[in-house]
Every structure is written in C-alpha cells, then in structure tokens.
C-alpha cells in the first residue's frame, strides 16, 4: 500500500478547472517530484492534499485512510506537513519564535530546545540567526526557516512547494543537499519544482503535470532523458 494515494482528484476555483482528475501516489520513504509549467495546478495539488483546498471529486488516502474531508490540523497530526509556496513566516517574530510555533505538536514542550537544535543542525545559517526577526532575513534564509518550521512538526510526509524559487545557485545546491539528507533519513518527500534539473536529479519518481492532468510519469532518470521533458522543462 502506498503511503499517499491520490485518485481522480478534481479541483475547481469557480469556473476555473485547476485539477482535472489527477491520480498519483508516494510510497513510504520515496522522493517524488512534480514538475510542470506555471498554472499547471502543482500548488493546488499540494494544497488539496494538505486540506487547504477541497476537491469536488476524487479521494486522497494516507496509510489507507481517507483524509480528504479532514480539517487541516487533523491532516497535520497524521504527519503530513506542507511548506507552501509563499513562506508565510511571521515577519515580526524571530527565527526561534517562528520555529516554536511550528513545534505546537510537541506533546512534551520541554523538548522544544533539543528539537530546535536538531532541526537547526540542518541549517547552520539559520542557527546563526536564531534571534533575528524573520522578516529581516534574505529570501533564501526565510525559505530555510519555513522548511525548518515544517520539520519542527515532525513530518512523515513533507510537501515542499518550490523551495528553491528565487535562491542563488549556492543556496539551491545547499537546499538540494538538505533534501537529500532528509530523504536519506527515511522522510517521504513530494517536491514541486520549477527547477526540473534539480528535482529530477533528486527524485526516485517524477510526474509531469500539464493543465491539471498528469502528462508523464517515470523515474527521475527516465524523465530527465525524455525528449519532451528535455525540451519543455530542461531547456535542451
Ligand atoms: N485562489 C484561486 N482562485 C482562482 N483561481 C486560482 C486560485 N488559485 C489558483 N488558481 C488557478 O488554478 C490554476 C492552477 O494554479 P496553481 O497555483 O495550482 O498552479 P501552479 O502549477 O502551482 O503554478 P506556478 O508554477 O505558477 O506556481 C491556475 O490557472 C490558477 O490561475
Ligand atoms: Mg505553484
């Protein structure tokens, strides 16, 4: 059984059809990536999985149970954590305070410092800036902080929406390494990326989304060598 199973998912915003029957899955421990043009429906798919948007048809199951009618906090408590496209940090709070908000699931609040230390271990840059206001950090640092806050929730499945958007090549490389490490530790990841090079090099399996439907599916390697993917998404 797949960890996450999406079947025939359809989402509409008023008259706009955003997803026209998407089926996909992620196995436990798998690194899955989703690439596609602007407006293809990638963010909508992640938002619907995490309960921020609702489908009018189709099902989403996690560990065999339907989650598509559950409230967001309930989905999070299943271990499904979404780091959305816009970073949505609290700009007037420090990095540490933002992380603390992410830690609300911790049953034993006294474990917050050790949990934070563990998460900041992935992001040495952030460690240096623990007491800086989140809103005053660079875009890249804020992105790191948003992911760190997601990790404070103790995810089993991490949904990342364009984490490298606007980052320098150096930070993109750093983030790539962090995602690889997290995956290596057994975390299941679904990564939405414009940076198809990076995404396909990291992914076990990949999907191409076009106008709200899955156009292609394969291993990261297969898609990276597919002619249509190379033309449309790798600029080759
Ligand atoms: N809140 C909304 N209201 C109306 N239409 C929306 C809304 N959110 C998204 N859409 C539309 O749904 C479609 C899919 O949008 P979505 O944000 O999921 O695409 P995306 O693949 O994430 O694009 P990008 O790569 O630009 O982030 C687009 O046509 C978009 O205009
Ligand atoms: Mg998007």
CB 220, CB 203: distance < 8 Å:
yes
Distance (Å) from CA 18 to ligand 1 centroid: 7
Instruction: Verify that 74 and 160 share a domain, yes or no.
Output: yes
Distance separating alpha carbons of residues 49 and 6, to the nearest angstrom:
8
* pLDDT beneath 70: ranges in the chain: none
37 Cα nearest atom in ligand 1: 25
Rg (the chain; Cα; Å): 17
47 Cα nearest atom in ligand 1: 18
The predicted structure's pLDDT at residue 106: 72
The predicted structure's pLDDT at residue 222: 95
Which residue, judged by its Cα, is nearest atom 18 of ligand 1?
A: 41
- The SS3 call for residue 221 is helix
Distance separating alpha carbons of residues 226 and 221, to the nearest angstrom:
9
Instruction: Verify that 61 and 104 share a domain, yes or no.
Output: no
Instruction: Verify that 108 and 174 share a domain, yes or no.
Output: no
Which of 122, 115, 116 is closest to 95 using CA atoms?
116
Instruction: Verify that 64 and 120 share a domain, yes or no.
Output: no
Tell me the residue range of the domain where 18 lies: 1-79+155-236
The 10 Å Cβ neighbour count of residue 70 is 17
Pairing of strands 80-83, 65-66: unpaired
CATH number at residue 31: 3.40.50.300
Distance (Å) from CA 166 to ligand 2 centroid: 13
Last residue of a domain, one of 154, 177, 193: 154
pLDDT tens across 160-203, in order? 999 998 888 988 999 999 999 999 999 999 999 989 999 999 99
Last residue of a domain, one of 123, 139, 154: 154
Distance separating alpha carbons of residues 122 and 148, to the nearest angstrom:
8
Which of 33, 3, 48 is closest to 209 using CA atoms?
33
């Amino acid at each position: 059984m797949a960890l996450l199973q999406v079947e025939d998912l359809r989402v509409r915003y008023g008259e706009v059809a955003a997803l026209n029957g998407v089926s996909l899955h992620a196995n436990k421990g798998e690194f899955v990536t989703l690439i596609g043009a602007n407006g293809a429906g990638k963010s909508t798919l992640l938002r619907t999985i995490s309960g921020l948007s609702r489908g009018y048809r189709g099902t989403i199951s996690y560990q065999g149970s339907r989650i598509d009618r559950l409230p967001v906090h309930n989905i999070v408590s299943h271990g499904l954590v979404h780091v959305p496209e816009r970073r949505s940090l609290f700009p007037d709070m420090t990095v540490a305070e933002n992380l603390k908000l992410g830690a609300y699931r911790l049953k034993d609040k006294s474990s917050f410092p050790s949990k934070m230390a563990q998460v900041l271990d992935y992001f040495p840059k952030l460690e240096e800036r623990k007491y800086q206001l989140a809103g005053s950090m660079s875009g890249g640092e804020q992105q790191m902080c948003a992911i760190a806050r997601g990790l404070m929730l103790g995810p089993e499945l991490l949904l990342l929406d364009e984490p490298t958007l606007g980052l320098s090549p150096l930070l993109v490389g750093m983030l790539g390494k962090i995602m690889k490490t997290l995956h290596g530790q057994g975390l299941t990841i679904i990564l939405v990326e414009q940076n198809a090079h990076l995404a396909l090099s990291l992914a076990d399996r990949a999907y191409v989304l076009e106008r709200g439907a899955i156009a292609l599916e394969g291993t990261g390697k297969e898609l990276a060598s597919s002619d249509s993917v190379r033309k449309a998404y790798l600029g080759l």
